């Protein structure tokens, strides 16, 4: 697996990029505002210094007294405190000559134009001297420029601290983003660890062994829910496979029984010459087994077909008519056993359903009722109840013992093989499947020795 493509790596990468973007924006804002205020502070100091020097040049009567040229700058001594803080103060004559100056750049040439209005200039870095900020104001007397007051300060301090700030921000932002990335990676790895377990378990699962489960502790979070769902799904699949295996085993056992019977009859007949009557009997027996086989295969086919997606064609049918026809055609079967088969015919009941499937459903139920009744008869009734069509098939037969009732709709389930020698136990399973396919309900009530009542509810 490509490590960059794992979810945790992508999560960490995104986190790094996002944090980097946020911190960069924040750092940029901090740097720009620090930059502005550092330069503003220098300019303010320069302006204040220059104005103080200019004010000092005024006499009490309002006239201006230009200082005499003096390298010791006696007139500026009162500003020594400003000079000690790095400010250079100069008074220039009208020809640009420095009359008096104190501070670092007292007598340096400061190559800036001498303006007619107060102005700032920046002298670029040269000969290992850092940039210098210069403020110059003209000294006016009767609108005549008689000299200039100039203040200057190196920008080294401001720029040094800005440089340090920039380095700190760059390192800080980079380190924090990386840290966030690592933290994100480990958090994601922790959060996603169960997913790796799910993957490993899914790999271990095969059709032969579906018993693997995650059994993760339930933290109530998304991954726990996923793991739970996964375990539930495994349980359902395991169940489904087990049922399928059971079905296949049962089916092959059931198919083998009539085949073995036929084989036995054939072997016996072939062993030697037999009277003609025995051959006839043997053919009858084989034919009976073949019938059984055919019924079984048909039943299995119906069940298997319904297993995938029960595609019932839906037509509007008249249930009353359908039941009347069915009871009429099955009546001879009942009468052959001296049983009555009564249909308590209701007014027409119409519903949307698959007619072939419904015929199969009621034939199975009626066939059972006739098969498992020795005395009395069968009453079929139909009606409507809360929007459902309801059909009842009640017999006065041998009934089904209570302990068997929960199982009779299972495939191949027979209450006892001796009393239902003809059936394979598929009839009710098919009936249940058909009712389910119509989103209906199939219920049974029975009392051993008294009779059985099947109730079919079909939504209309
Ligand atoms: P079979 O082909 O054996 O009849 P079914 O699935 O139709 O299989 O029925 C399952 C079992 O339920 C039968 O073996 C039978 O014992 C019992 N049964 C079904 N219908 C009735 C009934 N009307 N009266 C008594 N027992 C019944």
Would the CB of 432 count as within 6 Å of ligand 1?
no
Question: Which stretch of 43-52, 259-268, 296-305 has the lowest confidence by average pLDDT?
Answer: 296-305
- Ligand 1, atom 11, lies closest to the CA of 414
Give per-residue pLDDT as tens, 342-394: 999 999 999 998 888 899 899 999 999 999 999 999 999 999 999 899 999 99
CA distance 102 to 74: 9
Please report, to the nearest 10 degrees, the dihedral formed by the alpha carbons of residues 283, 284, 285, 286 taken in order. Answer: 50
Distance from the alpha carbon of residue 408 to the mean position of ligand 1, in angstroms: 7
Give per-residue pLDDT as tens, 152-167: 999 999 999 999 999 9
What's this model's pTM, rounded to 2 decimal places? 0.55
Confidence of residue 27 (pLDDT cuts 50, 70, 90): very high
Q: Measure Cα distances from 373 to 316, 339, 341, 364 in Å.
A: 33, 8, 11, 14
User: Which has more confidence, 207 or 362?
Assistant: 362
> Quick one: pLDDT at residue 309?
46
Q: Is the pLDDT of residue 310 over 70?
A: no
Give the N- to C-terminal CA distance of the chain in Å, as an integer. 55
Distance from the alpha carbon of residue 124 to the mean position of ligand 1, in angstroms: 108
Would the CB of 299 count as within 6 Å of ligand 1?
no
> Quick one: pLDDT at residue 1?
59
Question: Average pLDDT for residues 427-431, to the nearest whole number?
Answer: 91
Question: Average pLDDT for residues 58-77, to the nearest whole number?
Answer: 84
**Three-state DSSP class for residue 137:** strand
Q: Percent of the chain beyond pLDDT 90?
A: 57
Confidence of residue 249 (pLDDT cuts 50, 70, 90): confident
User: Which has more confidence, 317 or 423?
Assistant: 317
Nearest ligand 1 atom, CA 425: 8
> Quick one: pLDDT at residue 422?
63
Give per-residue pLDDT as tens, 282-307: 999 999 999 989 988 888 888 877 65
294 dihedral zone (left: phi>0; alpha: psi -120 to 50; beta)? alpha
- Are the C-beta atoms of 185 and 11 separated by less than 8 Å? yes
- Ligand 1, atom 17, lies closest to the CA of 415
Question: Which stretch of 89-103, 106-120, 293-307, 308-322 has the lowest confidence by average pLDDT?
Answer: 308-322
Give per-residue pLDDT as tens, 394-428: 999 999 999 999 999 998 888 876 665 567 788 89
> Quick one: pLDDT at residue 308?
46
Question: Which stretch of 107-111, 181-185, 359-363 has the lowest confidence by average pLDDT?
Answer: 107-111
- Give which of 444, 415, 450 is closest to 431, Cα–Cα: 444
DSSP secondary structure code for residue 93 in this structure = E
- Are the C-beta atoms of 91 and 101 separated by less than 8 Å? yes
Residue to mutate, 423, 431, 450, ligand 1, most ligand atoms under 8 Å from C-beta? 423
- Ligand 1, atom 7, lies closest to the CA of 427
CA distance 86 to 103: 7
Distance from the alpha carbon of residue 24 to the mean position of ligand 1, in angstroms: 80
Distance from the alpha carbon of residue 345 to the mean position of ligand 1, in angstroms: 25
Would the CB of 451 count as within 6 Å of ligand 1?
no
Distance from the alpha carbon of residue 59 to the mean position of ligand 1, in angstroms: 131
Question: Average pLDDT for residues 271-289, to the nearest whole number?
Answer: 90
Question: Average pLDDT for residues 69-89, to the nearest whole number?
Answer: 89
Confidence of residue 112 (pLDDT cuts 50, 70, 90): very high
Cβ atoms within 10 Å of 412's Cβ, excluding its own: 18
Question: Average pLDDT for residues 33-40, to the nearest whole number?
Answer: 96
Mean pLDDT comparison of 188-202, 297-311, 443-457, highest-scoring range:
443-457
- Are the C-beta atoms of 154 and 42 separated by less than 8 Å? no
- Give which of 403, 424, 390, 106 is closest to 295, Cα–Cα: 424
Question: Average pLDDT for residues 428-445, to the nearest whole number?
Answer: 92
> Quick one: pLDDT at residue 421?
58
Mean pLDDT (the chain) is 89
Confidence of residue 4 (pLDDT cuts 50, 70, 90): low
Distance from the alpha carbon of residue 426 to the mean position of ligand 1, in angstroms: 9
143 dihedral zone (left: phi>0; alpha: psi -120 to 50; beta)? left
Helix axes 427-437, 355-371, angle to 10 degrees: 150
Distance from the alpha carbon of residue 425 to the mean position of ligand 1, in angstroms: 7
Confidence of residue 63 (pLDDT cuts 50, 70, 90): confident
Question: Which stretch of 27-41, 307-321, 340-354 has the lowest confidence by average pLDDT?
Answer: 307-321
> Quick one: pLDDT at residue 307?
55
């Amino acid at each position: 697996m490509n490590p960059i493509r794992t979810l945790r790596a992508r999560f960490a990468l995104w986190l790094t990029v996002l944090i980097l973007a946020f911190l960069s924006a924040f750092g940029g804002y901090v740097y720009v505002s620090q930059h502005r205020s550092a330069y503003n502070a220098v300019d303010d100091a320069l302006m204040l210094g220059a104005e103080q020097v200019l004010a000092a040049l005024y006499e009490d009567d309002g006239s201006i007294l230009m200082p005499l040229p003096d390298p010791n700058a006696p007139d500026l001594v009162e500003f020594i405190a400003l000079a000690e803080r790095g400010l250079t103060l100069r008074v220039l004559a009208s020809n640009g000559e420095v009359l008096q100056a104190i501070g670092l750049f007292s007598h340096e040439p400061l190559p800036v134009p001498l303006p007619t209005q107060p102005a700032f200039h920046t002298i670029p870095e040269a000969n290992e001297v850092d940039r210098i900020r210069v403020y110059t104001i003209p000294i006016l007397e009767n609108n005549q420029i008689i000299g200039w007051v100039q203040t200057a300060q190196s920008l080294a301090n401001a720029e040094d601290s800005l440089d340090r700030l920039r380095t700190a921000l760059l390192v800080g932002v980079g380190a924090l983003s990386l840290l966030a990335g690592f933290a994100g990676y480990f958090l994601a790895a922790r959060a996603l660890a169960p997913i790796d377990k799910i993957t490993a378990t899914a790999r271990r699962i095969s059709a032969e062994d579906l018993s693997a489960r995650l059994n993760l502790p339930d933290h109530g979070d998304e991954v726990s829910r996923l793991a739970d769902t996964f375990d539930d799904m495994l349980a359902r699949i395991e169940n489904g496979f087990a049922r399928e295996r059971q079905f296949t085993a049962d089916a092959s056992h059931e198919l083998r029984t009539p085949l073995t019977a036929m084989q036995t009859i054939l072997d016996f007949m072939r062993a030697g010459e037999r009277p003609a009557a025995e051959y006839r009997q043997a053919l009858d027996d084989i034919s009976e087994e073949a019938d059984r086989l055919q019924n079984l295969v048909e039943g299995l086919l119906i069940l298997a077909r319904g297993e995938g997606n029960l595609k019932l064609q839906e037509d509007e049918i008249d249930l009353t008519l359908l039941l009347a026809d069915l009871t009429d055609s099955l009546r001879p079967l009942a009468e052959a056993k001296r049983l009555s088969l009564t249909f308590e015919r209701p007014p027409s009941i119409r519903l949307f359903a698959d007619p072939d499937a419904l015929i199969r459903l009621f034939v199975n139920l009626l066939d059972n009722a006739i098969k498992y009744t020795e005395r009395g008869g069968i009453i079929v009734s139909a009606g409507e109840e809360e929007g459902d069509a309801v059909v009842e098939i009640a017999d006065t037969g041998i009934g089904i013992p209570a302990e068997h009732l929960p199982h009779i709709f299972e495939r191949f389930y027979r209450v006892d093989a001796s009393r239902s020698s003809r059936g394979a136990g598929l009839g009710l399973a098919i009936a249940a499947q058909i009712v389910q396919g119509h989103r209906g309900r199939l219920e049974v009530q029975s009392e051993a020795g008294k009779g059985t009542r099947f109730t079919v509810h079909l939504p209309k």
